[in-house]
Structure 1
Amino acid sequence: MKYFKSSLFLSLLISIFSFSIVAQEADYGNQHLFDEFTYRQGSVYRTASGKPGPEYWQNSADYSLEATLDDKNHTIKGNVTIQYTNNSPETLDFIWLFLEQNRFTETSRGTLTTPVTGSRYSGDIEGGLELSNVLAKTKTGSSSKHLISDTRMQLFLDKPLAAKGGQVEIKMDFKFKIPVEGMDRMGRFEAKDGTVYALAQWYPRVAVFDDVVGWNTDPYLGAGEFYCEYGDFDVKITAAADQTVVCSGVLQNPEEVLTQKQQERIAKAEKSDETVYIIKPNEVAKSVAQAKKDGTLTWHFKMENTRDVAWASSRAFIWDAARINLGNGKTGLAQSVYPKESDGNHAWGRSTEYTKASVEFHSNTYYPYPYHNAINVATNVGGMEYPGVSFCGYQRGGAALWSVTDHEFGHNWFPMIVGSNERRFPWMDEGLNIFINHYSTEAFNNGEYPTRSSSPRTLIGYLTAEGREGIDTYADIANPRNLAYTAYYKPAAGLYLLREYILDHERFDYAFKSYIKTWAYKHPQPNDFFNHIENVVGEDLSWFWKGWFFGNGNIDLGILSVEPYKGDYLITVENNGDFPMPVELLVTYTDDSQETVKLPVEIWHRGNVWSHLLRTDKQVKRVVQDPNKLLPDINILNDAWNKL
């Protein structure tokens, strides 16, 4: 009996060992990419169908802001009152806030991690916030205890803030010097008729506390953008009487800060599809453009259910506007402010036209634009977005100005409406937005300008580069040379492939718009996007998410052979790449007639070679794989077969 057991064990061991050798030699191609993927997990907070769960929550923050612009010393002095509500299921011992102006100091983490040669995200180092009178007040008491760490502040409470509705009022005064170079997101420059100020990241604001990581306190370094809670904003900005101020939200006191003529022109613009001047070029920097001849004016703005506000101010602004037609009888107001250096129809004279067209396309195609105003500001910022306000380079014109205007206003949908975490997942706002820009540019003025996002094949140089990185690389970690691809172009190309090649327009569009509607004013994670698209289109796309969004592999499909077979033909295709794709073949017969053959991705379930039986009584002359050249296939030499 002992011998039998030992012999049996030895036989089993030999069998297992032999099987492992065979398994190692077998080539199952990309079969592993069809395996289960972890994003299909659901919870009471986020469902497996990609929707907010029955117990989904997010905290909120309402802001009252007062600021005074000193255009002699280039400083901002102000105060903020934050009404913060804890809707989470746990108590909070402290509140984390962001102090993003602290990036502009000599010892900030962002400064110390900027290459000595500089980068797009270089910034001044003579700034930083000066805070005073910091106070957190709850029903139980108050506390001023706080710790500042780089661009974050931890504010301690007298007692833990209650779960599911506990509120705290946070107050503080602040002051900072406005940087000239604000990391290409804000700043100031000297125009002929005065300084142009672009103000963003300008007030202390609460960090997001969510069900995924708790407090989101990643420091503000440079490439990583923002993640904000939603709330209502009440903003009062005091500036010299010769300044024109524009801001996210709706102006509450036009009769106090605008001339009668300017108010009449705005009323006209509200009804006009053509651009109307509010301040004409020959009125710039003259008293005719001022509601008050000297002293200061306080501009009052309000905005509801938004994640941020930004503003701009200058005595050098030309100002024009036109009506936005948002659908269902709703209208808004596209506006542009720019110095004389930017004037002309070859440049910013068409900015309002571009703004209007971009917002109308997005609003009528994807989701209604929620704000009344869309304001384009000519600044020394290349391109940066905020709710209802965009900062774009004042030297741009033509296709370049259309492109940046369309892109920045597109961000009102991602991440202003769909509130993703830009700092960790930049592709969720940049990539989705670049994808839309392709179609909005096609639609603008009957295709006046070429699209920024052309065929995914244009990415092959990057996709085959040795130093390439994946889409899932954080913005602050990605090599600066790769960021445009990891955050912008590769994810956009992936969505393009889904819509144009893998799925179809109807299914993709329905799912994409459903995702926007489902997560409007909420905080989706990548898994929520993947889950939602899959559940709406009814497809298991794990192979695609893993191959394109979580890997550096490439596509290489080819035609191995075309052979007569029992009166028909066998077309054998091969997958020599790193992940699978459906196959589309264009068959041309000797009589020059053509037939399209589409094979599903499931042909690669069990290996990397597949033979398709083409039933025909004609003679095949030529077969081409991917005839529309949509795939970024890294080897085009095996894409066609020709009869000798």
Structure 2
Amino acid sequence: MLLFLGGFSAMAQWSEQNHAERFEQLGPMLRSPNVYRTASGAPGHMYWQQKADHEIEVELNDDNQSIKGWQKVTYFNNSPDDLKCLWIQLDQNERAKDSNTPKIAESKINPRMSMRQLESILWHDLDLGYKILSVKDMSGNDIPVTIVKTMMRVDLPQPLKAGEKTEFTMDWTFNIHDRMSFIGGRPGYEFFEKDGNYLYTMAEWFPRMAVYSDFEGWQHKQFVGRGEFALTFGDYKVKITVPADHMVGSTGVLQNPEQVLSSAELDRWNTAKKTFDKPVIIRTQAEVERLEKQKAKDKKTWEFHAENVRDFAWTSSRKLIWDAMAVKQGGNEVMAMSYYAKEANPLWEQYSTRVVAHTLKSYSARTFDYPYPVAISVEASNGMEYPMICFNYGRPDADGTYSEAIKNGMIGVIIHEVGHNYFPMIVNSDERQWSWMDEGLNTFMQYLAEQEWDRNFPSRRGAAHKIVPYMRSEKHLLEPIMTNSENIIQFGPNAYAKPATGLNILRETIMGRELFDHAYKEYSQRWMFKHPTPDDFFRTMEDASGIDLDWFWRGWFYGTDPVDISLETVNWYKLDNRTPAEKKADEKKAFDREETYVSKTYNLKDTPVTVVEADPATRDFYYTYNPFAVTPDDESAYKEFMAGLSPKEKEMLNSGLNFYELKFRNIGGLVMPLIIQFNYTDGTSDVERIPAEIWRLNEWEVSKVFAKKKEVKNIVLDPFRETADIDESNNYWPRQFEPSRFELFKGTGGARGVSSGDNPMKKARRK
């Protein structure tokens, strides 16, 4: 017997179809397993990938900001296919005069236009892009090539058979562009007008082999600026000729330190290799300031070797300060290093290399021991990653003060870009097709590393509630995560924040940290130095954890629905264990309450005597009958009922349990677990966690009953903001309402990497 005591309700909207496809398996949407990639998400027993070794000689011209290079490529065809041609990426052609990049960029005239905006419309007359001088075989014969914008097809004299290799050489030049101008981009130079020097960040600087894979053949989609790179692993031997007073930082290990470093720098370098507690400054700011004024005319050649890398980048300038320290990684010692101009101090001397070291430790603990010998951070008012080296922003004001925002921004970007060594430099996904596989996974790892750096670090991405503004966007401004890089409107939220948030939700709420961390490490180690696809990631996470996550991939990665789950109604029930006298008393109380209303109150005055009260002839049995009196029959029925109960039933009847029936409505469309906090009248609380599968038979409305020993005061859905619910106002029973507030402010903006926001340090110095 159940007695209804109280409740709260709101209108519910019903879908015509309660059960759609949210819990169906992804099977038909994924590639079929094969001998190269298994159904478990691991590489198959016949997995293969190509290899491309490089020998490169390049010279930097500091007078006219150009480079010229020669390279020899040894290409290994490990595929089962014979190849008639090879495809090579010419990324510098993105800035050539006939580039598609400015042509496909939308533009418009605003009431106020800056010179930079006008230049972007007019494009430019600069002589940029590759000049391919020759492509020859090892006998010196020309090899026919066809340049298609940012791609070049090399037509081989005869097909390259499966299991064979071929060698060829290329000569090329290009003019380096000003990356601080409207052209922007990842590589280029920055000119420092005060001392007349250049700082070069050389990336995408040589013709690079495109990827030929088992899952898509040649990846030769055009490079138009956003979609990054799919690249082939190989070994590199690179000789870099620069002005003799330049400092060079590079992918790989320096082979000739005795020839390019001063005796003092060499001693400091050897000291740094044995120092694990703090960075050692190898070229100091004072030394750099002297070099900035002298500008040597002679040249030096730096030689670097790198094994099993997918790319190669370097930096060069007489402005570069250099510091380094050793970091233990498994059985290896890795050199964490930073290069930066004096304009980046004091921030970089204090933080950069320490952040590099922390990133290696944090990421390695969750993936694999960092396998490369060096990890480098370069200050370049930029943010871009390459094997063993990355370019980052974070420049204080001229007086050396800085805002907390720029300090945290610098630390965050260094973690992010150094972290890219793991994804995609080692776990080598195709960035041009699936940006989220490197940016999203790396942003998730960045979030964890930031919180380990500083418990109060203001991470912009990762926590579930921080994706809510994006998830609230109009539908026409949203695309699934599984969208090509060039077709995304809100690129940062889509490719970085949403996948990072999804992984954090999996770790904290759906899988739990232990299972998630095991599966994530399994994926990382399975695909070290290989080319994974989204299918491999999805399958591995399920295979290694034993949890069916297809519903989550389907909703979070293939869809655009937000999370908005409403706690619609709460009904409170108790088992009816009352005696006949208690029951009759409660019925009397309820009757009196029902019969107390305004008309009866007024009638006591306006109708002093009713007909029945005045005339005995109108009265019958019911005039004196008391329906609320306990009768012998009531007592007998109660005794018979109690005598028929088993001991277990009597225990339940007298337990005093409160039963709360909760109804939930899925307004947003994206299913999620239900995290429910019950707050009791005695001041205590507890949390119930219901898996998302509760929605499997009705994706729009579900109910769940909870038995509680204590009386509930209020209930909160998603109390810890775990699910990215876009409307928290409907997560309460009883409903809670708070005023929204707004403030008046004057907006400001500045260049990327320049100190911005409140600067208490500057104010303190003024006092």
TM-score using structure 1 length: 0.90
CA distance in 2 between counterparts of 1:229 and 1:416 reads 10
CA deviations 1:331-351 (Å, max 9, x no partner) are 21111111121121x455422
Aligned equivalents of 2:248, 2:150: Cα separation in 1? 27
Match of 2:4 in 1: none
What residue is the counterpart of 1:159 in the other structure? 158
Q: Is 1:469 aligned to 2:479, yes or no? A: yes
Deviation at 1:574, TM superposition (A): 2.6
Aligned to 1:236: 239
Kept after mapping to 2: 8 A contact 1:338/1:394? no
1:567-604 deviation per Cα after TM superposition (whole angstroms, max 9, x unaligned): 33322223223121111111122222222211122211
Amino acid aligned to 1:158: P
Q: What amino acid sits opposite 1:404 in the alignment?
A: V
User: Could you tell me which residue of structure 2 aligns to residue 110 of structure 1?
Assistant: 101
SS at match of 1:47: coil
The secondary structure found in structure 1 opposite 2:422 is: helix
**Structure 1 residue corresponding to 2:63, chosen from 65, 69, 72:** 72
CA distance in 2, matches of 1:241, 1:503: 56
Tell me if 1:300 matches 2:303: yes
Distance 1:35 1:247, change over 3 A: closer
> Please, which moves more after superposition, 206-215 or 369-378?
369-378
Secondary structure (helix, strand or coil) at the match of 2:86 reads: strand
| Structure 2 alignment gaps of length 5 or more | 1-13, 109-115, 397-405, 576-658, 737-767
Aligned residue in 2 for 1:173:
171
1:478 partnered with 2:468: no
CA deviations 1:3-36 (Å, max 9, x no partner) are xxxxxxxxxxxxxxxxxxxxx9753155544344
Matched, 1:641 2:641: no
Equivalent residue runs for 1:480-519 within 5 Å? 482-519=490-527
**Distance across 2 between alignment mates of 1:77 and 1:233:** 18
For 2:539, the equivalent position in structure 1 comes to 531
Distance 2:262 2:26 in 1: 64
Question: Which residue does the alignment assign to 2:714?
Answer: 622
3-state SS in 2 of match to 1:415 = coil
Q: Does 1:543 align with 2:543?
A: no
TM-superposed CA distance for 1:159, in Å, is: 1.1
How big is the shift at 1:620? 1.9
More strand by percentage: 1
What is the CA–CA distance in structure 1 between the aligned matches of 2:370 and 2:34, rounded to whole Å?
Answer: 31
Match of 1:210 among 210, 213, 226: 213
Question: CA separation in 1, counterparts of 2:447 and 2:531?
Answer: 25
SS at match of 1:158: strand
Worse-matched range after superposition: 601-610 or 426-435: 601-610
| Corresponding residue for residue 632 of structure 2 | none
SS at match of 1:297: strand
Q: Whole-Å Cα distance in 1 between the matches of residues 710 and 394 of structure 2? A: 62
Contact 2:433 2:485 (C-alpha < 8 Å) held by counterparts: yes
- Write the deviation string for residues 420-470 of structure 1: whole angstroms up to 9, x where unpaired: 0001100000011111111101111x4363223253222222212122222
Residue 214 of structure 1 and its aligned partner are, at CA, apart by 0.6
- Tell me whether 352-361 or 229-238 shows the greater mean CA deviation: 352-361
The corresponding residue for 1:16 is: none
Query: Hey, what's the Cα distance between the residues in 2 that align with 1:109 and 1:178?
Result: 19
For 1:293 and 1:581, the matched residues in 2 are separated by: 64
Task: List per-residue Cα deviations over 1:227-247 (Å, max 9, x = no partner).
Answer: 101010000001111111111
Aligned to 1:129: 130
Residue 394 (structure 1) shift = 5.4
Alignment of 1:249-268 (within 5 A): 249-268=252-271
Matches within 5 A, 1:252-331: 252-272=255-275, 273-284=277-288, 286=290, 295-326=298-329, 328-331=330-333
Q: CA deviation at 1:48?
A: 0.9
For residue 527 of structure 1, what is the amino acid of its counterpart? D
The aligned amino acid for 1:416 is M
Deviations 1:244-292 (A, max 9, x none): 11110000000000011101101111222212111111111546999x9
Asked if the contact 1:471–1:491 (Cα under 8 Å) also holds between the matched residues in 2, the reply is yes
Give deviations 1:370-427, integer Å, cap 9, x for gaps.
Answer: 11111111224x2000011111125265111101111100100110010000011000
Q: In the aligned structure 1, how far is the partner of 2:394 from the partner of 2:568?
A: 54
In the alignment, which residue of structure 1 is the partner of 2:674? Answer: 583
Distance (Å, rounded) in 2 between the aligned partners of 1:448 and 1:611: 38
Letter in 1 for 2:341: P
Kindly indicate whether the alpha-carbon contact (under 8 Å) linking 1:457 and 1:631 is maintained by their aligned counterparts in 2.
yes
Shift in alpha-carbon separation, 1:339–1:617, aligned structure 2, 3 A: closer
Cα distance in structure 2, aligned partners of 1:399 and 1:158: 55
Shift of 1:166: 1.4
Moved more, 535-544 or 68-77: 535-544
State the distance in 2 between where 1:27 and 1:379 align: 55
What SS class does the counterpart of residue 66 from structure 1 fall into?
Answer: strand
Contact 2:60 2:242 in 1 (8 A): yes
Q: Are the aligned partners of 1:184 and 1:384 in contact in 2 as well (CA < 8 Å)?
A: no
Provide the residue aligned with 1:6 in structure 2: none
Q: CA deviation at 1:323?
A: 1.8
The 3-state SS of whatever aligns with 2:661 is: strand
Letter in 2 for 1:174: W
Contact 1:143 1:158 in 2 (8 A): no
Partner residue of 1:421? 430
Classify 1:594/1:376 alpha carbon distance in 2 versus 1 (closer, same or farther; 3 Å). same
Q: 2:202 & 2:149 partners in 1: Cα distance?
A: 20
Give the aligned partner of residue 598 of structure 1.
689
The alpha-carbon deviation at position 114 of structure 1 amounts to: 3.2
From 92, 99, 113, the equivalent of 2:90 is 99
Letter in 1 for 2:102: T
Matched, 1:407 2:397: no
| SS of residue matched to 1:453 | coil
Percent of residue pairs identical: 37
Q: Cα RMSD between the aligned structures?
A: 2.4
Q: Deviations over 1:527-562 (max 9, x none)?
A: 111111111111221111111111111112122222
Q: Does the 8 Å contact 1:543/1:579 carry over to 2?
A: no
Q: Secondary structure at the match of 1:34?
A: coil
Kept after mapping to 1: 8 A contact 2:251/2:306: yes
Tell me if structure 2 keeps the 8 A contact 1:59–1:209: yes
Shift of 1:211: 1.1
Deviates more, 1:516-525 or 1:463-472: 463-472
**TM-score, normalised via structure 2 length:** 0.76
Query: What are the superposed Cα offsets for residues 318-364 of structure 1, whole Å, 9 maximum, x if unpaired?
Result: 111122232x34221111111121121x4554222222222222123
Q: Secondary structure at the match of 1:429?
A: helix
